[in-house]
Structure formats: C-alpha cells, structure tokens
C-alpha cells in the first residue's frame, strides 16, 4: 500500500494546483469506501483551500469551514487533471476547482477514506497516533524509552502507529537491514547504542524515498501519473532468495504480523 513517502509525494504533487484555489464542486460517485463518506464533506464547496498538510498517511485539505481528510488505503491514488478529462473506472471522488482543475481519488479496492474534520477539532482517527518520524519529536531518547520492557519484535514495534507513524513495511525492512538489526529481535532487548544507529537511518530512508518520488508499487503513481522510482534502490524488500548486497548470503523471507519480512541472517543480528 502507499506508505508515508508516497503520501507525502502526493501532498507535494497536489499542493501547487490546489492551495489558495476555490472548490467549485465536490462529486461523490461512490460513498462507500472504508467508511461511508460523511455528508459534511460537501460543506467545503465554494471554500478556499488554505492549507494542505499530512498526518501519518492522511492528507488534510483545510478550508475555513473544516477539513477534508483523504486516505489512499491499499490501492488509492490522486490525480490533479483538467476537468475535461473523462472519468476512469474507480474514480470515486472529485474535488473540482474554479481554476478548471479537478482532484480525483481513484481506489479500486475501496480501502481508502474521505473523512471530515471540524475547525479547531481533532478527528478521532488522529487521537492515538505517535510522532511523525521526520520531526524532532521522534528521536533516540523517545524510541529507546518506548521500547523498554517491550517483547514485541522490533519490526512490528517500528510499524506501530502509536509509537511512530508512517514507518510502514517497506521502510521498516530497509531501515533494519541498514542498521544491521534482526527484525525478530525484541524491541526491549535492543541497546540504546543500536537505537542511536537506527533512528537516523529511519529518517534518512524515508527522506530519500520522498526526494526520489516514492516507491514504485503496482498500485502507486504520483499525481502527474509517473511512478516513483525509489524501488530501484531497495536492498531487501521484495528480494527474497536474492544475494545480500553486503555479504552475498541468500536473503530470507518470513511472515510477521501477516506482512512479508526479508532480511539477511548474516548481516542482521
């Protein structure tokens, strides 16, 4: 599914076309996504978009009367195109602007979401989220303290949105490989010295993916329709059975929390 870098790339892609523009109309072609689209979303019609932000994997399009919250789910993508372009199959939501552009949410599996947040309120979805990984709130002291007495495997610990948001499966795999940490190790048994190595690696891995346009997955494309190309640099994810780039040992795949984990038994301890 689209992970934090892909969502951030989407935010960067739509912002130049939408920020400061007036919403002409909103069309809901399929109201039943992961949750039913609330009627309050229509309140944003005829409002100026004053801010476009991201929290975890959610995009927040803010107006004076409230905010539209979008989530791409497992297969969703956003496109900003001319309003004259015909609808594609699975184009479920359109936000048409006065400038002739339209934002379309396409989501074949319908696991995405379109929610509403009132002004000066926090949507319930955000209440239990941990810090953003690219902010100063996510540092060595924070992660080390959170890990104490935790028997959870370090990979699943990193992917827990209550601990830190947005470090999804791909980037947890990659970060742990670069840090030389076995993904099966208990989070509480990893030393502070190793967390001092891991935290900046997580930040750099996510930053690199954002810079390079997100990871190419079959369901992801940027708002201009071009795929991201960070996948060309993946060191372990999706490389089961291939040689480790460091020691040439065959990479191993296991399942953790119903997700694929690929790692090197020799390099990751």
- With beta carbons less than 8 A apart as the criterion, state whether 57 and 95 touch: no
Question: What are the residue ranges in the chain where pLDDT is below 50?
Answer: 216-220
d(CA 157, CA 35): 27
Active-site residue flag, 31: no
> What's the confidence (pLDDT) of residue 224?
65
CATH numeric code, 4-126: 3.20.190.10
pLDDT, tens digit, 9 for 90 and up, residues 107-140: 999 999 999 999 999 999 999 999 999 999 999 9
The span from the CA of 97 to the CA of 39, in Å, is: 19
What is d(CA 9, CA 226) in angstroms, rounded to the nearest whole number? Answer: 11
Domain boundaries, the chain: 4-126, 140-263
Q: What angle do CA 135, 55, 217 make, to 5 degrees?
A: 100
What is the structure's pLDDT at 211? Answer: 85
Catalytic residue among 54, 57, 79, 178: 57
pLDDT of res. 140 = 98
Catalytic residue, from 150, 185, 203, 259: name it.
259
16 is catalytic: no
- Residue positions counted in the chain: 269
Q: Is 259 a catalytic residue?
A: yes
CB 63 within 8 A of CB 48: yes
- What is the predicted pLDDT for the residue at 223? 67
- Catalytic status, residue 2: yes
DSSP 3-state of 103: strand
Catalytic residue among 3, 6, 8, 174: 3
Q: Determine the pLDDT at residue 3.
A: 85
* Residue 86 region by backbone torsions, left for phi larger than 0, else alpha for psi between -120 and 50, else beta: beta
Looking at domain 140-263, which of 1.10.150.120, 1.10.8.50, 3.40.50.10490, 3.40.50.11740 is its CATH number? 1.10.8.50
End-to-end CA distance of the chain: 28
Angle at alpha carbon of residue 246, lines to 254 and 206, rounded to 5°: 70
Pairwise CA distance, residues 33 & 37, whole Å? 7
């Amino acid at each position: 599914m689209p992970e934090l870098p892909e969502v951030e790339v989407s935010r960067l892609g739509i912002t130049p076309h939408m920020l400061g523009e007036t919403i002409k109309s909103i069309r809901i072609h399929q109201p039943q996504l992961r949750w039913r689209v609330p009627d309050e979303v229509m309140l944003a019609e005829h409002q100026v978009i004053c801010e476009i932000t991201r929290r975890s994997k959610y995009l927040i399009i803010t107006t004076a009367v409230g905010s539209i919250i979008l989530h791409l789910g497992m297969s969703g993508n956003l496109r900003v195109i001319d309003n004259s372009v015909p609808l594609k199959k699975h184009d479920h939501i359109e936000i048409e602007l006065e400038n002739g552009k339209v934002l379309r949410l396409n989501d074949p599996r319908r696991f995405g979401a379109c929610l509403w947040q009132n002004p000066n309120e926090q949507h319930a979805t955000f209440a239990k989220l941990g810090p953003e990984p690219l902010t100063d709130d996510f540092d060595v002291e924070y992660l080390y303290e959170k890990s104490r007495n935790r028997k959870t495997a370090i990979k699943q610990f990193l992917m827990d949105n209550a601990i830190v948001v947005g470090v999804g499966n791909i980037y947890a795999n990659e970060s742990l490989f670069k840090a030389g940490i076995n993904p099966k190790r208990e989070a509480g048994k990893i030393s502070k010295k190793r967390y001092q190595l891991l935290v900046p690696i997580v930040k750099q891995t996510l930053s690199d993916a954002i810079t390079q346009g997100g990871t190419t997955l079959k369901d992801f494309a940027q708002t201009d329709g071009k795929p991201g190309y960070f996948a060309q640099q993946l060191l372990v994810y999706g490389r089961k059975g291939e040689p480790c780039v460091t020691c040439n040992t065959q990479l191993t795949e296991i399942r953790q929390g119903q997700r694929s984990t690929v790692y090197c038994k020799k390099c990751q301890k």
